[in-house]
Amino acid sequence: MYRCCRYYGLEGVAGHEGDAAFSVEVNHFTFGPGCLREAGSHARSLGMHRVALYTDKQVRDLPYVATVKRSLEAAGIDVAIYWECEVEPTDRSFKAAAAFAQEGRFDGFVSVGGGSVIDTAKAANLYASHPDDFLAYVNAPIGQGKPVPGPLKPHIACPTTCGTGSEVTGIAIFDLLEQQCKTGILSRHLLPSRALVDPDVTHTLTPAIVAANGFDALSHALESYTARPHSAKVKNYEGFDGARRPMNQGANLWSDMGAREALRLIGQNLVRAVNDPDDAQARGSIMYAALVAGMTFSNAGCHLPHGMSYAVSGLVRDFKAPGGYPQDAPMVPHGMSVVLNAPSVYRFTGEAAPERHLEGAAFLGADVRDARPEDGGEVVAAKLIEMMQAVRFPNGLNAVGYSEADAEALAERAFPQQRVIQNAPREVTKTTLAELFRGAMRYW
Ligand SMILES: [Fe+2]
């Protein structure tokens, strides 16, 4: 039997067959300084004549929206701007964006902004292209989990932050207000048709935003690298169909390649990119790493640090992040809510795949010459803590307003995130989650 490396032995789960194959789906992307000016020619080549340009009120006054709009108009394309995307999108803001798309009868979509804006454009495009009840396409069990029936209208995604990778994922995340939970829509049809990734956008990001974005990208890569191997995922998806293999299929040979490169770039550049806003080379490297990490987790899936992050951001009381984040409401930025869980998680998951954790630390630049493989979880946790300190990050969940008394409530809120929790390399119960939250309260 073919076995490419030990991690991908076909162990499966007793009595079941593991999935021996994996599928990779990536979209067309362009990376490089000034590439936002190519928006018009890409739109023309995709057959667009009248586009909806999605952005938000933070981004609309930056030069990037004007650059993209000018390029589209110079190519003879009509542009209607929608700038009411919300920073933490909700079903309400997705529906409003979809109504704009339906009324405008557009033949293409362009998004200019962070992950929230790009996710909103994906959802608007979906409901304008294949109208249905809002919950129809939302992940089960919260929604109906109905497969998206076919391709959407073309969408060009132009990220203005360097973390989410949304420009290369088939995922749109939002808060479902009625049930007070974070959920999403997942489909390869949500992958934007093109991504224009211009590292010049990082010049206007504050150090705090680069830090949170960079740690989000780091986590996408490290969670993909330490995720349960695809070959251990039980092939019992209802009516398993190779053409519909889930994109969060677990770690695989291809995602390993992306994770290695993203971790290497982030290890070499993140601290410099945060501490020196004029270091264009370091910031550009983080932008590229975020792109690569986005493709990586889109084809492998995240696990516990992301699964736990939704509880950390959802139960926030009064924390407001300094350094350029909106101050109108309490919020833990996404990258922060993820990486604050990470050292505690890797101390726990290390046991399941010690070499992978040690390799992760080495890709990030840790000296592992004297480390024993069985210490992999602790070594990668220590490297993450060192990086968090180097960019003056909060020292754990205590610093964003939580105490050990909140661990059970956080676990209760995180547990329904089974899609990502089941991608972890170890079994996780609610009790485990509470322990992991307790371990994330204070690192130094
Ligand atoms: Fe993320």
| pLDDT at residue 11 in the model | 52
Looking at residue 387, which CATH number applies to its domain?
1.20.1090.10
pLDDT at 6: 67
- Return the closest-CA partner of residue 256 out of 222, 287, 289: 222
- HEC per residue, 165-185: CHHHCCEEEEEECCCCEEEEE
Q: Please tell me whether residues 40 and 138 are part of one structural domain.
A: yes
DSSP state of 188: G
Q: Is residue 1 part of a domain?
A: no
Residues 245 and 324 in one domain: yes
Establish if 176 belongs to a structural domain.
yes
CA of 404 to the centre of ligand 1 (A): 24
pTM value is: 0.95
Alpha-carbon span 242 to 239, nearest angstrom: 10
Phi, psi values for residue 110, rounded to 5°: -130, 135
What is the chain's pLDDT, residue by residue, as a tens digit (444 residues)? 444 456 886 554 455 567 888 999 999 999 999 999 999 999 999 999 999 999 999 899 999 999 999 999 999 999 999 999 998 899 999 999 999 999 999 999 999 999 999 999 999 999 999 999 999 999 888 899 999 999 999 999 999 999 999 999 999 999 999 888 888 999 999 999 999 999 999 999 999 999 999 999 999 999 999 999 988 876 655 567 777 788 889 999 999 999 999 999 999 999 999 999 999 999 999 999 999 999 999 999 999 999 999 999 999 999 999 999 989 899 999 999 999 999 999 999 999 999 999 999 999 999 999 999 899 999 999 999 999 999 999 999 999 999 999 999 999 999 988 889 999 999 999 999 999 999 999 999
Q: What is the CATH number of the domain that holds 97?
A: 3.40.50.1970
| 122 and 137 belong to one structural domain | yes
Domain that holds residue 393: 205-439
Q: Give 49 Cα–ligand 1 centroid separation in angstroms.
A: 33
CA 249–ligand 1 middle distance (angstroms):
17
168 and 147 both lie in a single domain: yes
On whether both 183 and 216 belong to a single domain, the answer is no
- Helix H or strand E segment including 380: helix 376-390
234: tokens are: 């039980």
Give the integer Cα–Cα distance in Å for 341 and 438: 10
In the chain, the number of structural domains is: 2
Ligand 1 centroid to Cα of residue 311, in Å, is 14
d(CA 125, CA 110): 10
Q: Is 29 helix (H, G, I), strand (E, B) or coil?
A: strand
Query: How many other C-beta atoms are found inside a 10 Å radius of the C-beta of residue 103?
Result: 11
Does residue 274 share a domain with residue 398? yes
Q: Are residues 100 and 191 in the same domain?
A: yes
Q: 172, 203, 234 — which closes off a domain?
A: 203
- For residue 2, what pLDDT is reported? 44
What is the C-alpha to C-alpha distance for residues 398 and 403, in angstroms, rounded to an integer? 6
Task: Give me ligand 1 centre to Cα 389, in Å.
Answer: 20
Any domain includes 313: yes
Helix (H) or strand (E) holding 31: strand 28-31
Q: In the listed set 188, 203, 218, which residue is the last one of a domain according to the structure?
A: 203
In a domain, 296, yes or no: yes
Q: Of 146, 180, 203, at which residue does a domain stop?
A: 203
User: Residues 31, 199: contact at Cβ < 8 Å?
Assistant: yes
Q: Indicate if 297 and 194 belong to the same structural domain.
A: no
Q: Residue 8: inside a domain, yes or no?
A: no
Q: Is residue 15 one of the residues assigned to a domain?
A: no
**How far away, in angstroms, is 79 Cα from ligand 1 center?**
30
Give the pLDDT confidence score for residue 1 in this predicted structure: 40
Please answer whether residues 224 and 261 qualify as being in contact, where contact means their C-beta atoms are separated by less than 8 angstroms.
Answer: no
What is the distance between the terminal CA atoms of the chain, rounded to a whole angstrom?
47
**How far does residue 25's CA lie from ligand 1's centre (Å)?**
19
Based on the fold, state whether residues 277 and 238 are members of the same structural domain: yes
Q: What are the backbone dihedrals phi and psi of residue 14, each rounded to the nearest 5 degrees, phi first?
A: -45, 125
Same domain, 156 and 211: no
Q: Which of 8, 20, 2, 1 is nearest to 353 (CA)?
A: 8
Query: DSSP of 59-96, one letter per residue?
Result: TTTSHHHHHHHHHHHHTT-EEEEE----SS-BHHHHHH
CA 306 to CA 334: how far, in whole Å?
9
Interval between CA 291 and ligand 1 midpoint (Å): 12
Q: Is there a single domain that holds both residue 214 and residue 192? A: no
Q: How far is the CA of 305 from the centre of ligand 1 (A)?
A: 9
Cα(239) to ligand 1 centroid in Å equals 30
Quote the pLDDT of residue 228.
93
CA of 334 to the centre of ligand 1 (A): 7
Would residue 132 count as lying in a domain? yes
115/199 same-domain check: yes
Domain assignment of residue 13, yes or no = no
Output the CA 70–ligand 1 centroid distance in Å: 31
- Three-state SS at 320: strand
For residue 279, the CA-to-ligand 1 centroid distance in Å is: 24
